[in-house]
Amino acid sequence: MSKPIDRRDFLKLAGLGGVVFASGLPGVTLGAGQDDFYFVQLSDAHWGFEGPPNPDAKGTLKKAVAAVNSLERQPDFIMFTGDLTHTTDNPVERRKRLSEFKEIVKDLKVKTVRYMPGEHDASLDNGKAFQEFFGATHYTFDHKGVHFIVLDNVSDPRASIGDEQLGWLAADLKQQKNDAPIVVFTHRPLFDLYPQWDWATKDGAKAVDMLMPYKNVTVFYGHIHQEHHHMTGHIAHHAAKGLMFPLPEAGKAPTRAPLPWDPAQPYKGLGFREVDADTKAADNKITEFPVVKA
Amino acid sequence: MIFGKKTLRIVAAATVVTIGSLGAYVAAQSAEPKEKVIKITAKKFNYIPGEVKLKKGVPVILEFRSQDVLMGFNLPDFNVRADIVPGKATRLRLTPDKTGTFVFLCDIFCGTGHEEMNGKLTVVD
């Protein structure tokens, strides 16, 4: 069996995203001699952003790539859950940013890297530029017995999934067994986390309703630039931190403006999580780690 | 005539949305409003004015016009939203049923400053 990722490796990923083990997912039962696997979720790189909230705006993504590459045991794949780039009204600049982002992440050792758009990438042109560089904005794939579904709730600038994609989701779910381990990736939360800051998906409840009959569903998303864990019934929703700047907790600040950079405590407010589980109980256990090694 | 929540009906050049005192229904009106009309301009990336003060229980008409692109007015605490289409007035009848300060925002991604495009509604007794 492969050497498991250790605490030092986790710390290398401090502030850079989420590490998710298959054994931490409900419904995944590893057979004798079967390797566990894990994937890394990276989110909200906002390539192209410039400003005081991150004096290292040009360097953070490259550091994330280096940190992932330095892991002794490499993840099976990496998932970027949107906002690869920071929005721009200029379509030429948008493509330049997407191109630069793609060039930087090309250095990842792991060659299975999957992408989905955030509203910064896709909402101004319905995902056109994103698709030119990264292909489809919603799709499925299977990996070692886990069914993964990537849902696009950003290409519509109204923050909707849309009936067409919901129909596609329904058709895909029909092919799944009731107890199949299913992981859903989205950019925005599927539930109303805080609509006052647009932290919601207008028709997200329809997707959650479709997923509800399935016993082992976990949702990973980005958008809010911070750890957040929420349950809709038996479905867990986990938000990842961003790679550019943290945002305030919902409603805890007058606006959703990025938190200021603290030179005394760089990367303050960032961190990472480990998701592990008692597979028999199909119950996630979340361990939070501070961003700075004590 | 009573419609479901968030249902809009285009009346001539204006969209009129009525929010009941409980925020529980939306209805359309075609008559000229008797209530005070508060005009709000939406443009990248501001609402002007950005602060609106109302009295609890007193109905008003919020009249929106976009100066550039499609915007979406959203006042989540009253469960109401409406598209603001350039070249048209969007009217929204609101009877606040609670006091406090509430955020309204643009909920259609409209550009680089979209995330800062919000305002404040204050309702007093």
ipTM of the complex: 0.84
Segment A250-271 shows an average pLDDT of 80
Segment A125-149 shows an average pLDDT of 96
Report CA torsion sign: B65, A196, A225, A83: negative
> What are the residues facing B92 on neighbouring strands?
B17, B62
On the question of pLDDT at A132 being above 60, the answer is yes
Interface test with A, best of B75, B102, B109 (most A CBs within 10 A): B109
d(CA A65, CA B45): 34
Residue A8: inside a domain, yes or no? no
Residue A11: inside a domain, yes or no? no
d(CA A124, CA A92): 13
On the question of pLDDT at A72 being above 90, the answer is no
d(CA B105, CA A217): 32
Which residue among B102, B105, B112 places its CB closest to the CB of A198? B105
The predicted-structure confidence for B11-45, as pLDDT tens digits, reads as follows 333 444 444 333 333 334 445 658 899 999 999 99
Residue A17's pLDDT band (cuts 50, 70, 90): low
> Mean pLDDT in chain B?
81
Predicted local distance difference test score (pLDDT) of residue A11: 46
Do residues A62 and A78 make contact, with C-beta atoms less than 8 angstroms apart?
Answer: no
- As a 3-state breakdown, chain A gives helix, strand, coil percent values, each rounded to 5, of 25, 25, 55
Do residues A49 and A85 make contact, with C-beta atoms less than 8 angstroms apart?
Answer: no
Measured between beta carbons, the chain A residues lying within 8 angstroms of B114 are 87
Residue whose structure tokens are 């930087």: A104
> Mean pLDDT in chain A?
85
Interface of A with B in 195-254 (CB under 8 A): 195-198
Residue whose structure tokens are 């049923």: B97
Predicted local distance difference test score (pLDDT) of residue A27: 74
Predicted local distance difference test score (pLDDT) of residue A284: 44
Structure tokens at A218: 């976990």
Residue A7: inside a domain, yes or no? no
Give the range of the structural domain holding residue A77, as residue numbers without chain letter. Answer: 16-26+36-289
Residue A66's pLDDT band (cuts 50, 70, 90): confident
Measured between beta carbons, the chain B residues lying within 8 angstroms of A195 are 74, 76
A256 touches chain B (CB under 8 A): yes
Do residues A172 and A210 make contact, with C-beta atoms less than 8 angstroms apart?
Answer: no
CB under 8 Å to A198, separation ≥6 — which residues? A159, A256, B74, B105, B107, B115
Least confident of A69-78, A245-254, B9-18: B9-18
Predicted local distance difference test score (pLDDT) of residue A31: 66
Interface of B with A in 30-59 (CB under 8 A): none
Predicted local distance difference test score (pLDDT) of residue B18: 44
Predicted local distance difference test score (pLDDT) of residue A2: 41
On the question of pLDDT at B106 being above 70, the answer is yes
Residue A229: inside a domain, yes or no? yes
CB under 8 Å to B123, separation ≥6 — which residues? B53, B54, B55, B56, B96, B98, B99, B100, B101, B102
d(CA A182, CA A167): 18
User: Which residue of chain A has the CA closest to B6?
Assistant: A202
Segment A173-190 shows an average pLDDT of 96
DSSP code string of A187-248: SS-SS-SBGGGTBS-TTHHHHHHHHTT-SEEEEEE-SSSS-EEEEETTEEEEEPP-SS---P
CB under 8 Å to A136, separation ≥6 — which residues? none
On the question of pLDDT at A146 being above 60, the answer is yes
Residue A3: inside a domain, yes or no? no
The predicted-structure confidence for A80-94, as pLDDT tens digits, reads as follows 999 999 999 999 999
Q: How many domains does chain A have?
A: 1
d(CA A124, CA A140): 24
> What are the residues facing B64 on neighbouring strands?
B40, B90
- A-B CB pairs within 8 A amount to 38
Segment A3-22 shows an average pLDDT of 55
Q: Has domain B10-124 been given CATH number 2.60.120.10?
A: no
Predicted local distance difference test score (pLDDT) of residue A6: 52
Predicted local distance difference test score (pLDDT) of residue B10: 30
Segment B100-104 shows an average pLDDT of 97
A155 touches chain B (CB under 8 A): no
CATH of the domain at A205: 3.60.21.10
User: Which residue of chain A has the CA closest to B78?
Assistant: A196
| H or E element that contains A94 | helix A91-105
Predicted local distance difference test score (pLDDT) of residue A292: 30
Segment A111-120 shows an average pLDDT of 97
Measured between beta carbons, the chain B residues lying within 8 angstroms of A123 are 109
The predicted-structure confidence for B55-79, as pLDDT tens digits, reads as follows 999 999 999 999 999 999 999 999 9
Least confident of A93-102, A248-257, B103-112: A248-257
Segment A215-234 shows an average pLDDT of 94
